[in-house]
Structure 1
């Protein structure tokens, strides 16, 4: 598996246990009330940019961003940094097959969510710093665990649904397609190094291999762009973020977005 990614697609038929609360016939009406731009970072719902390094643990970073945002929303804006390493160490398929993750060899948002539902999520301060490798699960020693009721699948391929979800429930976890040669080939995703988002030819929106977080959206020249938080360190892209067009589901951002419910 190509490191610095690590997404293993969820098994077919696996869905969130909580329905998306906005009926299709109301989405356009709800979306029309939203601001032209929205950024969860401005409301204290997003932590610092992290670096997964060589470990294929993107699935822990995308989900942790969503989890941290939900915890902050539920606690009057009090932000708590949660432990990626706990997911790497503990949500293993070899131990409990229902989760389906493999530490630094990959995993999925659903694996992370189901593990958190069963066990709770420790803070980074309590569990320990990210190690860039598989470690021994010591979740039983934690003094504080944050639990969730479940997770929601946002309506796919809908700009309106993504906007509504990120404003009311974000940040979101999103899966994307990045080319394995992104370091040397100017693919849509790697071109974020220039800070540009005006790339309208999508890579395969169904060949998803990396998990990131959608933290907001903006508008430029009448076009909406998504603000994505990556896990490749603050030196990458726009201080660890990228702006990507909402047009044509570029890189698969809108294919299977999710968020947690506390």
Structure 2
């Protein structure tokens, strides 16, 4: 078994948080007494202790949340870890884990398992995918596990803390999560059969040796050093209570007492699980499907980001509410910003910032972390980004997916593509660089939930005015998030809507020149946004009846009569009336009469002075919601009153 790369634990932080040892922790703790430990299991005849360790800490987490007793499937975890399938959103088809041998024998570790479970491929129940043995624990591999069960899950991994070993850190993790998976070397010849006390001989090896994973569920500072075999060379009291996976007939009902001094205790992993039925955000966006423990240094002020296309809602809008990431550093501090509606898929900051100020979060212990963030609505088909900035320590060892190998037992490949994840230096003039250029994908996941309806732009506020140049002008206010606008028209008295224009965001108006003089119309405007070749339009509101401006009004005759000057014109259908104007040669037109009858065709100007020549003009008008619209006019020839 291979523990992989070591996490960068700040074990001094335990003292900073808790002070001296005696004040920080009680002399003993036993999660069994709190009812937080599920029954001992038996991994025989397989070497999948790591899967039993992960199942145990997940089951304890669910008990601690009063979710009842879960029996999670170790076989599901170990099988699909080495036979992983593309995720439900289809973003990781070429990400693979390869166990170089029989996955039932070759082993594993729970740091890798935690990263794998952040993809939500498990854990399911024992009933769904049972352990492949018969009642006597003989190998029974006759049942093939369907690939369709890869993402069956009764519980998801929410958080996993990963640490180097110290007594104080182990106790801290136990008080937080009530169970801790550890790696060690376990050999029955070093077990005291009378006390179930175990310790690999202190000083026997100059390096850490590993062959097994167990689950620590408590401690006892007063457990006597005399309970261990002399060959173990234990010199101090104190033992961890460990739950093994060798069945209840081994040890003390399946439990052992492990000396604090055991030289091989390493790779501490604890977990916080969430029941699948309680998971609010059901869509998991990620590109890091394989499980390498690779990291990159993110200096203070530097950023990494992931860009995703919103597809899980299948036409409906989504809400982002969680971000998941991986670090190998304690005390990591982050600033998180979400950008929506990206205009450049290769620039994570080319959209609209969701938060007025970045959301800040501190991760005290290295590992897998799910961070609840203020909710952000995502339009279906749009692109969004999650930007993570190191806002604290000098360097965060940030988790990335990359092609990696561990000894002669495990390798993984990463199907990295351009436009997935990016990094940027702290300089104000820095530009984003694609992670593909460095052959890694940042471990940034986004969790969303699907709304009951599609996100659509707001209904535009618009107005229509008729102009006597032969058009109606439709104008509207800009709608946030819209990428264009549809303009529709229909006859005022019935009829169907017809789209008359498709206008981009650079224009907020449209001239409808295909109108008939004095005809009545209704208009509406619908905003839409376009993403990935599809358009999603909003609701609309029908506007008031608008009449097109009357045609140019001509005077057909002007004639002096006994009582004045008679002006005649050809009436226009559907107009509402006429304005009569008069002027003398070299003067300006003055309104002399308003006629509120659209059928009128003449007017007698009785106030015209005898012996004076006049010019006349007639304007037709129509009534509008905002006032009147007047026609253009053509002046008459001069006429002198006799």
TM-score category (smaller protein): 0.7 to 0.9
Tell me what 1:157 maps to: 165
Tell me what 1:41 maps to: 32
Query: What is the CA distance between 1:23 and its match in structure 2?
Result: 2.3
Q: CA separation of 1:26/1:133 partners in 2, compared to 1, >3 Å: closer, same or farther?
A: farther
**Kept in 2: contact 1:122–1:139 (CA 8 A):** no
Identify the range of structure 1 (103-112 vs 79-88) with the bigger mean alpha-carbon deviation.
103-112
Aligned residues: 239
Q: CA separation of 1:257/1:225 partners in 2, compared to 1, >3 Å: closer, same or farther?
A: same
What is the aligned counterpart of 1:147 among 156, 176, 201?
156
Larger helix fraction of residues:
1
What is the rounded CA distance, in whole Å, between the counterparts of 2:112 and 2:63 in structure 1? 22
Q: CA separation of 1:206/1:93 partners in 2, compared to 1, >3 Å: closer, same or farther?
A: farther
Q: Which runs of 5+ in 2 are unaligned?
A: 86-94, 134-138, 225-235, 274-642
**Kept in 2: contact 1:45–1:77 (CA 8 A):** no
Please say which structure displays the higher CA radius of gyration.
Answer: 2
What is the rounded CA distance, in whole Å, between the counterparts of 2:20 and 2:125 in structure 1? 35
Tell me what 2:367 maps to: none
Q: Which runs of 5+ in 1 are unaligned?
A: 1-7
What is the rounded CA distance, in whole Å, between the counterparts of 2:45 and 2:130 in structure 1? 18
Query: What is the CA distance between 1:47 and its match in structure 2?
Result: 1.1
Render the CA deviation track for 1:46-103: whole Å, top value 9, x for unaligned.
1111111121111111111111112222x32522111111112211068753475852
Render the CA deviation track for 1:95-136: whole Å, top value 9, x for unaligned.
753475852122221232222211131121233345356664
Tell me what 2:241 maps to: 227
> Partner of 1:153: helix, strand, or coil?
strand
The reply to whether residue 80 of structure 1 matches residue 73 of structure 2 is no
Query: What is the CA distance between 1:28 and its match in structure 2?
Result: 4.8
- Higher RCO structure, 1 or 2 (CA under 8 Å, sep 6+): 1
Mapping of residues 86-125 of structure 1, within 5 Å = 86-92=76-82, 97-98=96-97, 103-105=103-105, 106-118=107-119, 119-125=121-127
Q: CA separation of 1:120/1:87 partners in 2, compared to 1, >3 Å: closer, same or farther?
A: closer
**Kept in 2: contact 1:82–1:123 (CA 8 A):** yes
What is the rounded CA distance, in whole Å, between the counterparts of 1:99 and 1:151 in structure 2? 23
What is the rounded CA distance, in whole Å, between the counterparts of 2:11 and 2:269 in structure 1? 13
Mapping of residues 210-221 of structure 1, within 5 Å = 210-218=212-220, 219-221=222-224
Render the CA deviation track for 1:149-192: whole Å, top value 9, x for unaligned.
342113x231111111112212100011124xx4xxx32xxx14
**Kept in 2: contact 1:192–1:242 (CA 8 A):** no
Q: Name the Cα RMSD after superposition.
A: 3.1
Larger strand fraction of residues:
2
Q: CA separation of 1:51/1:38 partners in 2, compared to 1, >3 Å: closer, same or farther?
A: same
**Kept in 1: contact 2:77–2:122 (CA 8 A):** no
Q: CA separation of 1:117/1:139 partners in 2, compared to 1, >3 Å: closer, same or farther?
A: farther
What is the rounded CA distance, in whole Å, between the counterparts of 2:267 and 2:75 in structure 1? 24
Superposition TM-score, scaled by structure 2 size: 0.34
What is the aligned counterpart of 1:175 among 172, 183, 207?
183
Tell me what 1:67 maps to: 58
**Kept in 1: contact 2:185–2:200 (CA 8 A):** no
